[in-house]
């Protein structure tokens, strides 16, 4: 039987999970668990570059992993682990950091954006972010990385690092490629030009664990476009188009059909039905979450076992890396 390709992806434990994280990442992860050998990582070290405080990071980590499993990620199929529990990521990262000129990292769009927003935010950790990400991927020799388009520059840096290592020391790393051409992108309910994120306040996103009433009120308040027609037109009617995207994802009703159905209704009816469709879609995940959350030790055990498993593979790769470089090992 041919070996399954290796997949790695990660998410920072920045707090409440929302439907953007779910449809943009976790649902994809769930769908490929049988096909690939998958590693899914809590990128807690990466989150240090952006978190204002690490106060609740333990709870955020547990909560995020609980939502993953509630949604259908299966620890029997996939290795679910904690980045900081596998110290080899940092070890490899410090070796990979010697392969690229700083000037190349300074061109990374995420870095440029953060420094433009806040010149004091330009820590070495932020500059080094894509190098640590390359280590995350390469240490498992992952050839596929399921992530959204916004991560393309990071993946390009990972490939550049892999090429440079292979060229200089001998080929051991695949050049990782993204896994999906198209990942659904969910937009903010209050800032329809922006991706859904927690940074625009809690009315701008639907959290996976929001109560039905909260979902109804957030959807009711979601920004719409001028003119009442419910029509998919991402240029002239971005807000309604984004709501239609969500409606499609939660109901699996094609957008064309939704347009026909709501042709003669106003926003109120459309939004009302959308909210109910979201509530129905999230109900089984929320139910499973509540069951799992009763037993946080079980979640920790999953992470611990996953991290131990990941670590064995990471140690193996590190030995190979050291041997290729020619470092003394005992």
Binding residues for ligand TRP (CB under 6 A): 8-12, 43, 46, 133, 136-137, 145, 147, 151, 154
Closest CB 122 distance from ligand TRP, rounded Å = 17
Q: Given the complex with ligand TRP, which of 97 and 278 has the nearer CB atom?
A: 97
Question: In the beta sheet, which residues pair with residue 7?
Answer: 38, 144
For residue 281, give both structure tokens.
């879609």
Q: Is 328 helix (H, G, I), strand (E, B) or coil?
A: coil
Q: Given the complex with ligand TRP, which of 84 and 241 has the nearer CB atom?
A: 84
Residue 40 CB neighbour total at 10 angstroms: 25
Q: Given the complex with ligand TRP, which of 147 and 219 has the nearer CB atom?
A: 147
Q: Given the complex with ligand TRP, which of 137 and 302 has the nearer CB atom?
A: 137
Closest CB 299 distance from ligand TRP, rounded Å = 20
Q: Given the complex with ligand TRP, which of 48 and 229 has the nearer CB atom?
A: 48
Closest CB 113 distance from ligand TRP, rounded Å = 13
Closest CB 28 distance from ligand TRP, rounded Å = 12
- Crossing angle of helices 267-293 and 296-325, in 10° steps, is 80
List alpha helices for 74-118, DSSP H: 88-96, 102-106, 109-117
Q: How far apart are CA 198 and CA 81, in angstroms?
A: 24
Closest CB 129 distance from ligand TRP, rounded Å = 7
Closest CB 51 distance from ligand TRP, rounded Å = 12
Q: Given the complex with ligand TRP, which of 110 and 217 has the nearer CB atom?
A: 110
Q: Given the complex with ligand TRP, which of 30 and 230 has the nearer CB atom?
A: 30
Q: Given the complex with ligand TRP, which of 207 and 230 has the nearer CB atom?
A: 207
Strand order in the sheet with 177-178: 79-82, 37-42, 6-11, 144-145, 177-178
Residue 77 zone, left/alpha/beta (φ > 0; ψ -120 to 50; rest): alpha
Q: How far apart are CA 267 and CA 95, in angstroms?
A: 55
Closest CB 8 distance from ligand TRP, rounded Å = 5
Q: How far apart are CA 328 and CA 321, in angstroms?
A: 11
* Residue in 217, 224, 216 with CA at minimum distance from that of residue 266: 224
Closest CB 137 distance from ligand TRP, rounded Å = 5
Which DSSP letter does residue 199 get? Answer: G
Residue 194 CB neighbour total at 10 angstroms: 12
Residue closest to ligand TRP when measured from CB atoms: 10
Q: How far apart are CA 214 and CA 153, in angstroms?
A: 36
Q: How far is CA 30 from CA 34, 78, 104, 263, in A?
A: 9, 9, 34, 35
């Amino acid at each position: 039987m041919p070996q399954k390709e290796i997949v790695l992806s990660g998410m920072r434990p920045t707090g409440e999970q929302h439907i953007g994280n779910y449809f943009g990442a976790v649902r994809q992860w769930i769908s490929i668990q049988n096909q690939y050998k998958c590693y899914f990582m809590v990128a807690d070290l990466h989150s240090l570059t952006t978190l204002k405080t690490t106060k609740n990071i333990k709870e955020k980590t547990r909560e995020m992993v609980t939502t993953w499993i509630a949604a259908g990620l299966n620890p029997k199929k996939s290795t679910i682990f904690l980045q900081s529990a596998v110290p080899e990521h940092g070890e490899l990262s410090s070796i990979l950091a010697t392969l690229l000129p700083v000037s190349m990292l300074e061109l990374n769009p995420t870095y440029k954006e953060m420094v433009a927003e806040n010149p004091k935010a330009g820590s070495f950790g932020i500059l080094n972010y894509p190098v640590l990400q390359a280590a995350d991927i390469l240490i498992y020799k992952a050839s596929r990385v399921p992530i959204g388009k916004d991560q393309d520059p990071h993946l390009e840096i990972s490939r550049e690092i892999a090429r440079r290592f292979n060229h200089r020391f001998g080929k051991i790393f695949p050049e990782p490629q993204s896994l999906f051409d198209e990942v659904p992108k969910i937009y903010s309910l209050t800032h329809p030009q922006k991706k859904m994120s927690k940074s625009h306040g809690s009315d701008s996103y639907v959290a996976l664990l929001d109560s039905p009433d909260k979902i109804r009120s957030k959807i009711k308040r979601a920004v719409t476009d001028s003119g009442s027609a419910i029509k998919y037109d991402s240029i002239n009617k971005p807000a309604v188009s984004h709501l239609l995207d969500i409606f499609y994802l939660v109901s699996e009703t094609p957008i064309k059909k939704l347009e026909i159905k709501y042709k003669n209704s106003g926003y109120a009816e459309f939004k009302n039905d959308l909210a109910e469709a979201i509530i129905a879609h999230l109900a089984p995940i929320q139910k499973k979450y509540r069951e799992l959350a009763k037993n946080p030790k079980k979640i920790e055990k999953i992470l611990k076992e996953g991290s131990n498993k990941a670590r064995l593979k990471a140690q193996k790769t590190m030995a190979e890396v050291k041997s290729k470089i020619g470092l003394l090992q005992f």
